[in-house]
A and B are shown apart, each in its own frame.
Chain A
Amino acid sequence: MKINSPETVQECIELLRQGVSVEECLERYPDEAVALEPALRAAVSLSSGLAAELPLTTRARVRSRVLGEWDRQSQPRRWNLSLPVFVPKWAFATAILVLALALGGLGTNTAAANSVPGGVLYPVKEFREGVQLWLARSPEAKVEMYTSLVKERVAEVKKIAAQKQTDQADIEAISDALARMEVHLTALNIVVANKLSDGAVEDANLGFVESLQESITEQDTAGSVLEKVLAEVPTEVRSDLRDALKALQTAQGRVDAALEAVK
């Protein structure tokens, strides 16, 4: 007999919120009533105990403070370059890239290369990386490209961490860069696995072996940098960073195994 599952408690909490009493709820689940009752009584007390109302004066004070900050920030907000709904992101990035090139934008390109997630010029960087990835046709070129992207994401995390800011925007930016890094590592693993599958090991050329060796070295460096950065990033993203380090170790292990297989 299934007794007092978390699922049943959840169902009863929803019923309580619809006005059903604890007793009625227990009647619906007689087999579980004894075990359910304490949790449901606690849920009822909790709902009433935590149902503090936000006083109108507090609401108004907070609103005034928040919107006051909005007004203060409104000048720089002009530079957020928000997109109209009908403009796709790639079109925006292309437009910026074309503009940057047309205006002799060496400076813009350099600025884009130095940008971090959330930055105004980051779409340019993303677009350029997308093009480079598309141009990388061979497995070794793809391994090199993904390795270089991992390195770039680590550099972004390091750059943001060095600013020692704890704003939500910085936390999101670090989290974004780490998530992107994990995507690159997954893609790298897929490229390596595809190359090794279906008897392709015999075809593994020197270029591919070298790209794997280079990837291991770069991933080593990336791991060391992230470990050093761990103490500098806001506490909120440390678990993300530890997850990224684990992903890096896993990827390294896979590339290492692939290298052994093709040598």
Chain B
Amino acid sequence: MLENQDDEEKALILSAQRGDRDAFAQLYEANVERVYRYLLSRLHEPADAEDVTAEVFIQAMKALPSYKARGTPFIAWLFRIAHNQAINYMKKQARRQETPLLETAATHDGPDEEVIDRIRFGEVVDAMGALTDLQRHVLSLRFAGELSIAEVASVMKRKEGAVKFLQFSALRALRRAWSQQEAGSHEN
């Protein structure tokens, strides 16, 4: 099954490299959700994540002729572009990054469930603020991008063992941050 998926993806990539618009559209549909979720976890604002998601696929489209199917897996290649674009965007929007997330959630005009989701999302990214860049990166790739350990290793150009260690230390640090947040809220 997985092999069939891989073959299908390779065929789509090849067709897109030859200029097949529909093939590229299918690659977009297959990956956009994960790319968007990853970018939202890095940039925090839906509008920013939307802008950068579009930019990621535009850059991927431009670089597609030089992509070699035998090298980096396509999803890892795409997430490297996403990571680079997120870094560039964060540099440009350094001030906006400071926007309090819970405030954004409170002013969201969606249904109640969406507001609750935004608050939960805000709590998660607030806690992730206590982590190092590398720890945040690995957790975003694993839990928002839903990449496998091997794919994360490929994106981060690290060994799988190193990624597992990073994931482990990041999760423990995150739990500590949450515990501190909870303790702080009880005191207040």
Q: A residues touching B (Cβ–Cβ < 8 Å)?
A: 4-7, 9-10, 13, 38-43, 45-55, 58-59, 61-63, 65-67, 69-71, 73-74, 77-78, 80, 82, 84-85, 117-118, 166-169, 171-173, 176, 234-236
Q: Which residues of B contact A118 (CB under 8 A)?
A: 63, 65-66
Say if the beta carbon of B147 comes within 8 Å of chain A. Answer: no
Contacts of B167 in A (CB 8 A): 6, 9-10, 13
**Which residues of the partner chain A approach B81 to less than 8 Å between Cβ atoms?**
168
Give the contacting residue for A82; candidates B18, B62, B87; CB below 8 A: B18
B168–A9 CB distance below 8 A: yes
**Known: A62-B53, A63-B28. Is A42-B172 also a contact (CB below 8 A)?**
yes
Chain A, residue nearest B84 (CB): A236
Interchain nearest-CB distance for B38 vs A (Å):
9
B71 to chain A, nearest CB (A): 10
Bound complex: CA of A166 vs CA of B88, how far in Å?
A: 10
CB contact under 8 A between A73 and B62, given known A46-B143, A61-B50, A63-B25: yes
Bound: A6/B164 CA distance, A: 5
Q: Is the CB of A9 within 8 A of B171?
A: yes
Is B32 interfacial (CB-CB < 8 Å)? yes
Nearest-CB residue, chain B, relative to A53: B33
* Interchain pairs with CB closer than 8 A, number: 147
Output the least CB separation between B57 and chain A (Å): 4
Q: Are A9 and B66 in contact (CB under 8 A)?
A: no
Interface of chain A: mostly helix, strand, loop or mixed = helix
Shortest C-beta distance, B106 to chain A (Å), equals 17
A39 touching B172 in the complex, CB below 8 Å, given contacts A62-B57, A80-B65: yes
What are 18 A-B contacts with C-beta separation under 8 Å? A6-B167, A6-B168, A38-B171, A38-B172, A42-B178, A46-B171, A48-B120, A53-B33, A54-B36, A54-B37, A59-B36, A62-B53, A63-B25, A66-B28, A71-B21, A74-B19, A167-B59, A235-B87
B46 touches A66 (CB 8 A): no
B50 touches A42 (CB 8 A): no
B17 adjacent to chain A (CB < 8 Å): yes
Of B19, B32, B58, B60, which contacts A54 at CB under 8 A? B32
CA distance A45 to B60 in the complex (A): 32
What CA separation (Å) do A163 and B54 show in the bound complex? 24
The interface centre, meaning the residue of B117, B140, B175 with most chain A CB atoms within 10 A of its CB, is B175
Q: How far is the CA of A168 from the CA of B62 in the complex (A)?
A: 8
B134 interface residue per 8 A CB criterion = no
Asked if residues B54 and A168 are in contact (CB atoms below 8 Å), the reply is no
Report if A67-B41 is in contact (Cβ < 8 Å); known contacts: A42-B174, A54-B36.
Answer: no
**In the complex, residue of chain B having the shortest beta-carbon distance to the beta carbon of A240:** B157
Is the pair B175, A42 in contact by a Cβ cutoff of 8 Å? Answer: yes
**A70 with B50: CB separation less than 8 A:** no
- Which of B32, B84, B169, B176 is the one whose CB lies under 8 Å from A168? B84
Bound form: Cα–Cα A84–B139 in Å: 39
Residues from chain A with a CB closer than 8 A to the CB of B60 are 168
How far apart are the CA atoms of A235 and B89 in the complex, in Å?
13
Min CB gap B129→A, angstroms: 13
